Amino acid sequence: MRVLTGQPRPAVPARKPGPGPASAGLLERESALDLLAAEAERAVAGSGRLVLLRAPTGTGRSALLEAAAELGADLGMRVLRAHATAESSGMPFALVTQLLDPPRALGALHDDTPGTPHHLGYPSRLWQLLCGYAAKSPLLVAVDDAHLADEASRRWLTEGARRLTGMPVLMVVTERGQYDIAPPSPGLAYSLPPGVVRMHPVAPLSRPAAEELVRGALGPDTGDTWVDGCVRAGAGNPLLLRALLDDLRAVFPHGARAGAADGCGPEPGLPENCAELYPGAFVAAVSWWLRSAGPESTAVARALAELEDSARCDGRKDEEEPGGVSARRPGPPGQDGPGPGHDFGDFLSELTRADPDRVGGWITTLIRLGLLRRDPGTGVPRFAHPLLRGAVLDGWPRSHRQALHLRAAELRQRRGDGVEAVAGHLLRTTPGTTARVAKTLLDAAADASRAGRTAAAAHYLRRALDEPMPRERRAAVLTGLGELEFATSRTGGIPRLAEALRLQERPRDRVLAAVSLGNALAHRGKPHAALDVMRELGSLDGEPVLARTIQTASAFFSDHDPEIRRAVYTRLSERAEHSPEWISPALRALLVRYEASAGLLSAESAMRQIRPLLTAPEDPLLVPYLLGTAASVAQWADAPDDAERIIRTGLAEHWLSPLHPVHRSLLDARVDTAAARGHYRWVLEETAGVAPAPGDAPRTGASTFLAHRVIALVECGRPAEAQRLVAGVDVREARDSWEQNRFLYARGVLRASVGDPAGALDDFRECGRRQLGRDVESPVVTPWRSAAAECHLLLGEMPEALELAEEESRYAAIWDTPRVRGRALRVLGAATGGRRGLELTAEAVGILRGTSLDIELVPALITHGLQLTAAGQPRSARPLLREAAVTAERLGAVRLSGSAETALRASGARRRNAPLTGSGSLTASERRIAALAAEGRTNAEISELLHLARRTVETHLTSTYRKLGIRRRVHLPAALNSGTQEAG
């Protein structure tokens, strides 16, 4: 065909600037538009070419094609359009026929016989038709989605592109250019010489352009959080981003910040659930994107989205979530994965039966396009935003998801993954699929429970109950689940435990199940129901050990109600009197504890009875009860070493679940013992679990741990934290129990420390009222009388203070241990005053000095020192007060240390700047001698090296030991180094 020449060349108008951010298809497409303008101008001049626009789905190929058509029309070119579809890909020349619209006279595809006009083949006749159009006017041939065209049309376009040189024809063709799982067919450009084709890849929008688009659609004042979420969900893809913005404008017609701007509420959050995008344009766009990628890519994308979604199961934190995705393997954090050489892409390809090389390339491509991101902690690919992931999964049948998880579980098991990695998928399968499901879930629950991830363990057990299993195993699973729910769920595990009891058939198993259920009921404030459970077991006359177990457990449950406690111990005492042979060592120990708390025994008598019981023969079922009771009595009796040994035995040698009544008792006794020693820092570490995390709702309910934490915070100089902690407990609504008495005492200590003696007095008296209602007269549990007497003194109510102090002293004399006697004498001396008061406080100091009860010695020293100062003997008071200050500082008792400092100043002592304890308190001579001793030098060697008398060296070392809080020379290096690090 001849080249059209001599025709006037239309002027190419300057391109107008784009219509703005709302025109997503043309944003950041200047280079493509420049190329199209130049090629159109060249074609009008008589030299055509093929321009191929290759781009992933949704990046604006069609918008660019439309811009090319408008540009051609502006130049006077005739525009021929065609759009290939998958439906017409099986019809030869369907695309070319759509493009040229040949007349009937041209014939049909199979009319190329000698009798037909021109004796030419059908493709040639179509080409001649195109040439005829070009002879009349320059042409712009616009073909969209050529990758979907039928093979004959693709060959025709390729051959036609070779002939465009010298013709006023510009072919602009769009073609999908994205890495998919299924290998694509060769593109149009790859068989053409470079001179006849200009290929232009279209990239996703940059982040600045995407942000401009979002603010252009939603308003310039759109918050950064919304903009970032939209950009991530749209992944720089104009199709997805425009669809998302359409949905958001429909859901939030007044803008994302309208509520905040009007003062009607905070800025709403960007939806993360596709169900909240009511019009559904975004979901439809993602669905189109998936269909364009092909079934293989769709399967991999959905599998990836489902695996990611399965890692976000209900629970608190990642470490609590079963079935999570780890860095090199698709398993939960901390679980064994497939091993070296098996990464996530391998697993995903094997799971979807796709080519692993193609899967790896697909992941890399989608990360580059912004649709996927690697998790910063694990490196596992995730969809860039929850909306994107949700849209990928939208409409995928639940049955298909369950089948995927079943395949994933089987695959992980074959690969040797950890049991939790397998169980994480079984959670989402249909119950009863395979016989191994229940065992795998139970094994996973055991692993999670051992690791302290109770929420995950409970999740596995709940799912395991959906599987068929024998009656005995189901009862065990219900008990295990009840144990996990005991302290975490609103029901306290009671329904699980009740069902477990119903399933038990053997007497021993029924008793153990009843004890667990009864303990849960008692701790939920239902002691009557707990005892009813024990009674409903019926007569166990033929099983004396089981009968004693019921009696012993009932005694523990009765501590939660004063009337029940009195009735239980009355019956137990009567039986001990009439049938002493029936009373086991555990029951005998309970009677000793009851009499001790009632003020009927001395500590010496109680321990004299307890010690033989610990060595007496006892059934294994009852040994834990014996140990729990003996630990409490030993702690009361100022025998902390014995108490700690008993507690260690109970916790280490006898596996006790949290549902066992003694488990809590032993833990409480351990923290009681530490608090009695003044180890407040240890107490704070041990009780950290009762403190709510930042942002948590206030917790309700009193406990011994909570009470000790409050007191430890007060003594460590952190009353504000203690006040926040007690704010969540409403005593009027809390369940009545002995633990509530402890809480009331602790709250009284807190109120007294912050200058509210009247409020503290109310708490101490209420504690006493509840304690006396349980027949607890002795001050061994809480010294409420002494604490209340001190409040009366602060309020100037001397007679009331003296009455309470005298009563406390009488009970203290019965129990007769240094701790209760020293404390009672201290308060009685303060209430008595005068010379007699001085004698009483001096006696208190004498009783407590030399014991391991420094935490009680300090207030005695302060009280006696203050009395000496008031009596005009400040010189005698100062050594005592300095001793109190040093001891309090060594213990870390900030409140007592402050009281000692105040008392010292009242005695006329000068204010000290240097610390009294720790390495910072050492003098230069002490530090030099201590350093030599720490190196292993003997006192004689140090004396010779420093030219000091040996006695001087010994004196300095004695002072150093006291300041550092150590007793042996071998502890010097650690103490000195610790001080150096703290100073740094």
Pairwise CA distance, residues 172 & 268, whole Å: 45
Pairwise CA distance, residues 702 & 725, whole Å: 11
pLDDT in tens, 521-539: 988 888 899 999 999 988 7
What per-residue confidence (pLDDT) applies to 699? 47
What per-residue confidence (pLDDT) applies to 259? 47
Pairwise CA distance, residues 407 & 409, whole Å: 5
What per-residue confidence (pLDDT) applies to 561? 85
pLDDT in tens, 348-371: 999 999 999 999 999 999 999 999
pLDDT at 297 over 60: yes
Helix (H, G, I), strand (E, B) or coil at 820: helix
Q: What are phi and psi of 494, to 5 degrees?
A: -60, -45
Pairwise CA distance, residues 352 & 338, whole Å: 17
pLDDT bin (cut points 50, 70, 90) of residue 301 is very high
**What's the whole-model pTM score?**
0.72
Pairwise CA distance, residues 891 & 885, whole Å: 10
Pairwise CA distance, residues 158 & 52, whole Å: 11
What per-residue confidence (pLDDT) applies to 109? 52
Helix (H, G, I), strand (E, B) or coil at 317: coil
19 vs 876, residue with greater confidence: 876
Give the mean model confidence (pLDDT) for residues 203-218: 91
pLDDT at 684 over 60: yes
Pairwise CA distance, residues 488 & 895, whole Å: 34
HSE-up of 201 (CA within 13 Å, CB side)? 7
What per-residue confidence (pLDDT) applies to 70? 94
Pairwise CA distance, residues 320 & 340, whole Å: 26
pLDDT at 300 over 50: yes
Shortest CA distance to 14 belongs to which of 76, 71, 77?
71
What per-residue confidence (pLDDT) applies to 656? 84
- The radius of gyration of the chain's CA atoms, rounded to the nearest angstrom, is 42
- The mean pLDDT value of the chain amounts to 85
pLDDT bin (cut points 50, 70, 90) of residue 621 is very high
pLDDT bin (cut points 50, 70, 90) of residue 248 is very high
Q: Are 725 and 706 in contact (CB under 8 A)?
A: yes
What per-residue confidence (pLDDT) applies to 9? 37
- The two tokens of residue 580 are 């002493």
pLDDT at 820 over 70: yes
- The DSSP output letter for 697 is P
Q: Which residues pair with 241 in a beta bridge?
A: none
Q: Are 512 and 550 in contact (CB under 8 A)?
A: no
Pairwise CA distance, residues 23 & 14, whole Å: 19
pLDDT bin (cut points 50, 70, 90) of residue 105 is low
Q: Are 658 and 652 in contact (CB under 8 A)?
A: no
pLDDT bin (cut points 50, 70, 90) of residue 920 is low
Give the distance from CA 106 to its chain's centroid: 73
Pairwise CA distance, residues 803 & 793, whole Å: 11
Write out the DSSP string of 850-908.
TSS-HHHHHHHHHHHHHHHHHTT-HHHHHHHHHHHHHHHHHHT-HHHHHHHHHHHHHTT
Pairwise CA distance, residues 749 & 790, whole Å: 11
Q: Are 160 and 39 in contact (CB under 8 A)?
A: no
pLDDT bin (cut points 50, 70, 90) of residue 625 is very high
Pairwise CA distance, residues 722 & 752, whole Å: 12
Q: Which of 97-106, 245-254, 610-619, 865-874 has the lowest mean pLDDT?
A: 97-106
Pairwise CA distance, residues 662 & 668, whole Å: 10
Shortest CA distance to 140 belongs to which of 64, 240, 251, 243?
64
pLDDT in tens, 384-402: 999 999 999 999 999 999 9
Residue owning tokens 């069609």: 62
pLDDT in tens, 38-95: 999 999 999 999 999 999 998 889 999 999 999 999 999 999 999 999 888 889 999 9
Measured CA to CA in angstroms, residue 416 lies from 404, 424, 446, 748 at distances of: 18, 14, 18, 57
What per-residue confidence (pLDDT) applies to 360? 92
Those residues with Cβ within 8 angstroms of residue 539's Cβ, 6 or more apart along the chain or in another chain: none
What per-residue confidence (pLDDT) applies to 335? 38
pLDDT at 286 over 90: yes
pLDDT in tens, 452-483: 888 899 999 999 999 999 999 999 999 999 98
pLDDT bin (cut points 50, 70, 90) of residue 915 is low
